[in-house]
Each structure stands twice: as structure tokens, then as C-alpha cells.
């Protein structure tokens, strides 16, 4: 059998054995399994080890088992009306945007489906798609599945700010899309309004659509260089950009897979055209609980942010004490740390030994880059490891003690 299109991408190539034709688990699943097998601690996959708000979980349970909310049958393809209104009201309160719930909001099965449907809607076959590197793994696979080519601009330590001049040079009339992820996974950088405005302008000049993945919008540390603004507030963005949000990261409910796309009616309609043939609809009862959280988070966003910030600082300190070079993120779930101070190995090799000998799982940043970047041994992205701090603080401490003892 020939190699499937998605496996020709960076993430895809890491999850497909071309010799046997076998699909392999993603780097996240492999790290999670390896950490479990070694009695270890998983700072690899970015999910919280505490549950989201109790009242949201109760409201979903009520909707499932009683007539409190929607039934357990199919929901409307674009999402329930009150769900779309809740997204509009959330965007209005946090960013001052004024969206039409009928035409400018689409419910999706997590941000993952939003990303898939958006890329399949706009990445024309044979075109180029430009993004910053490292990038969220599904971008590469979806661009490949659309028959387009991914081009990347590296984000560099210590501050990982986007090089917009390099982006400008990379975007041409062959470019169908520019993929932006802000706040950014895994670097934690929050793009500034000026950076976003330039990116939007560059895309617009070349007729490209901008997809802004904003799933970390509520996880901004209070010492961040910039606050988050949805891309739809940026001048010119209304014509060319769609924004993606998700309850998974905002409410620590990653298993619920409730996401949304916002943007102008024409663009959202195009995404809807794909989405209605992927899942058509999902999780009406979860839309019900998330709508309540979006209308009023009851202090969860602030409490969660404070908890994460303490975890970040704990992890930063411990990684530095163990001899690594951590870079302070402004947002998100992750600290990137350079391993060059403690080993000559690549971060991927180091991560494999770390999980096997110390039982601590972490993700090599190279798994979030193109194969060409992975092959370039001098590229500094290959010596970076991604550690998640969205974990209980006693778990972080145990991980750091093991790491220090093993390196020691």
C-alpha cells in the first residue's frame, strides 16, 4: 500500500511505519504509555490531572440523565442556538467583538475538528500553507491531507517571538493559508497586536486565509509581555481570519471536545461545509454545560491561571536547578527547556532515557517540527524538551526530584 497523504507530514511520518504499513500512536500517547510503564510521571501530554469545575460536570450529568437540558439525540449541525449565543457573549465580554450567533459561530468537536475543517476548507490542493515552528501536530497532517505543502518559520529562544519579516518572505501568491497559534503551544509566546496586524496584512495582500488557534486564551500568566486579544479584533482580520476556541483548555475539560470557530459569515460557512460531513454534530449535552461556563466562569479562569502560574514557577526553578536551561512561558501549559547543558544527545534521545530511567515523560520539541528540521542536528529546536506544568504540584515536585537525582 502506498503511504497515506497524512503520513507524509512531520507528525504523520512519526506515526506511520511505512515498512509494515502500520499506524503508530502519536508522540503524546507513546510518552504517556512509556511514563506509565516505568511507574512514572507524565509531564508529556498536556492535560490537567485535576477535573474541571464541578458545577459544569453536574450540569452535563443532569442534561444526560434528566430533561434538564438538551436530549441525547442529534443536535443542530452548527451547534445549539444558545451555545452559539454563549460564545458570542463570551467574546463580547472578553474582547468587545460583536458577532452574529446565526452566521458567525460554529460548534465543533474540539479545536481539533475546527482545525481539520478549516484547513480542509481553505488549503487548496497544490498550494502552500505557512506557519511557525514548532507547531501543533495536527496542522502538518491536515495540510498534507488537503494536498498542500507546509512551510515553516522557526521560533527561536530565548523569547520565541515570531519573525514576521521571515513570514513576509515566505508568503507568496501560492500561499492559501497562514496558521497562527496564539497563545502558542509549546513556546507560550503571546503574539502582540502589532505582530498580528502585520501577519493579517501580509495574508490579505496574497489572498490567504488566516486561521488563529486561540485555545490557550485564558491561560495567560500575569507577568506576560502581552495580553491575549482574539484575532478578530485586529484591523483587517474580519475579512480574512477565523478564530478557534475550545472548552478543553479553558475549563480543564479536555475530554469533552467542545470547540468553536468564529469569523465572518462567508468564511465560517465554508468551514461549516466541511464540518457537516466530518461529524455533522456532537455532544449536545456538553454544549449545554459549556454554554453556562462561557456565560459565567464563576471565577474558574482566574483560579486556574493562578494555579498554573505557581506550577510554572515551580517547574522553571526545578529544571534550572537540575542543570537544564528553561525558558519562561507567558502562557499555556508548557515550559521548554534546553538540554544542551547536561547532555550531548538530542532532546529526543534524552527524553527516551529520561522516561526509561527516571520515569519522567517529556516531549521532544523536534516532534513538533518538519522532518527537515529534525534532520538538521545543529538546529537548536532539536535540543529542546517540552515539560507540562498543568499537573498537581506534588506531582511536579516528584518529577523534579527524580530528574535531578538522575542527572545528578
**Which residues of this chain interact with ligand PLP, rule CB under 6 A?**
110-112, 136, 181, 185, 213, 215, 246, 248-249, 254, 257, 259
Report helix, strand or coil for 171: coil
Q: How far apart are CA 141 and CA 164, in angstroms?
A: 24
Residue closer to ligand PLP (CB basis): 184 or 270? 184
CB of 258 to ligand PLP, least distance (A): 7
Closest approach of ligand PLP to the CB of residue 401, in Å: 27
Decide if 130 contacts 177 (C-beta within 8 A): yes
User: Of 127 and 254, which has the nearer Cβ to ligand PLP?
Assistant: 254
Residue whose C-alpha cell is 515523560: 361
Tell me the H-state helices in 96-179: 110-122, 137-145, 164-170
* Residue number, 195 or 213, with CB nearest to ligand PLP: 213
Element (H, E) at 2: none
Query: Which residue's beta carbon is nearest to the bound ligand PLP?
Result: 110
Q: Which is nearer to ligand PLP, 95 or 216 (CB)?
A: 216
CB of 334 to ligand PLP, least distance (A): 9
In the numeric block, which cell numbers belong to residue 18? 511505512
- Please, what is the minimum distance in Å from the beta carbon of residue 18 to ligand PLP? 27
Residue 374: all three cell numbers together? 529534525
Nearest to 386 by CA among 21, 197, 135: 135
Shortest CB 185 distance to ligand PLP, Å = 4
In the complex, minimum distance from the CB of residue 107 to ligand PLP, in angstroms, rounded to a whole number? 12
CA-CA-CA-CA torsion sign (51, 53, 55, 59):
negative
Q: What DSSP assignment string belongs to 31-66?
A: HHHHHHHTT-EE-SS---SS---HHHHHHHHHHHHS
Helical axes 81-95 vs 284-295, angle rounded to 10°? 30
| Residue 396: CB minimum distance to ligand PLP, A | 19
- Give the largest CA-CA distance in the chain: 61
Residue with Cβ nearer ligand PLP (257 or 272) = 257
Amino acid at each position: 500500500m502506498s503511504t497515506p497523504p497524512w503520513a507524509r507530514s512531520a507528525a504523520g511520518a512519526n506515526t506511520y511505519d511505512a515498512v509494515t504499513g502500520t499506524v503508530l500512536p502519536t508522540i503524546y500517547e507513546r510518552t504517556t504509555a512509556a511514563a506509565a510503564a516505568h511507574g512514572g510521571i507524565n509531564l508529556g501530554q498536556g492535560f490537567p490531572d485535576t477535573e474541571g469545575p464541578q458545577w459544569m460536570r453536574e450540569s452535563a450529568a443532569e442534561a444526560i440523565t434528566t430533561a434538564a437540558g438538551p436530549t441525547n439525540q442529534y443536535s443542530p449541525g452548527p451547534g445549539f442556538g444558545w451555545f452559539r449565543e454563549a460564545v458570542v457573549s463570551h467574546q463580547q465580554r472578553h474582547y468587545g467583538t460583536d458577532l452574529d450567533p446565526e452566521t458567525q459561530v460554529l460548534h465543533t468537536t474540539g479545536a481539533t475538528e475546527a482545525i481539520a475543517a478549516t484547513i480542509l476548507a481553505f488549503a487548496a490542493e497544490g498550494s502552500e500553507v505557512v506557519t511557525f515552528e514548532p507547531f501543533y501536530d495536527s496542522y502538518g497532517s491536515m495540510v498534507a491531507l488537503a494536498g498542500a505543502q507546509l512551510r515553516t518559520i522557526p521560533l527561536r529562544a530565548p523569547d520565541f517571538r515570531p519573525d514576521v519579516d521571515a513570514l513576509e518572505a515566505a508568503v507568496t501568491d501560492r500561499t492559501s493559508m497562514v496558521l497562527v497559534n496564539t497563545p502558542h503551544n509549546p513556546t507560550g509566546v503571546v503574539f502582540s497586536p502589532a505582530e498580528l496586524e502585520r501577519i493579517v496584512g501580509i495574508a490579505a495582500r496574497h489572498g490567504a486565509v488566516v486561521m488563529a488557534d486561540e485555545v490557550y486564551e485564558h491561560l495567560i500568566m500575569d507577568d506576560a509581555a502581552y495580553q491575549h486579544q482574539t484575532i478578530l479584533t485586529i484591523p483587517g482580520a474580519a475579512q480574512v481570519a477565523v478564530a478557534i476556541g475550545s472548552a478543553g483548555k479553558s475549563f480543564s475539560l479536555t475530554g469533552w471536545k467542545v470547540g468553536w470557530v468564529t469569523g465572518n459569515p462567508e468564511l465560517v460557512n465554508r468551514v461549516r461545509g466541511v464540518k457537516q460531513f466530518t461529524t455533522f454534530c456532537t455532544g449536545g449535552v456538553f454544549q449545554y454545560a459549556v454554554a453556562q461556563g462561557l456565560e459565567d466562569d464563576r471565577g474558574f479562569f482566574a483560579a486556574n491561571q493562578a494555579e498554573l502560574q505557581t506550577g510554572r514557577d515551580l517547574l522553571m526553578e526545578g529544571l534550572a536547578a537540575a542543570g537544564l536551561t528553561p525558558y519562561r512561558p507567558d502562557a499555556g501549559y508548557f515550559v521548554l527547556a534546553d538540554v544542551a547543558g547536561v547532555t550531548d544527545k538530542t532532546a529526543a534521545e534524552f527524553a527516551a532515557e529520561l522516561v526509561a530511567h527516571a520515569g519522567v515523560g517529556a516531549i521532544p520539541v523536534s516532534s513538533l517540527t518538519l522532518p527537515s528540521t529534525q534532520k538538521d542536528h545543529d538546529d537548536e529546536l532539536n535540543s529542546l524538551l517540552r515539560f507540562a506544568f498543568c499537573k498537581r504540584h506534588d506531582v511536579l515536585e516528584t518529577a523534579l526530584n527524580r530528574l535531578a537525582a538522575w542527572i545528578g
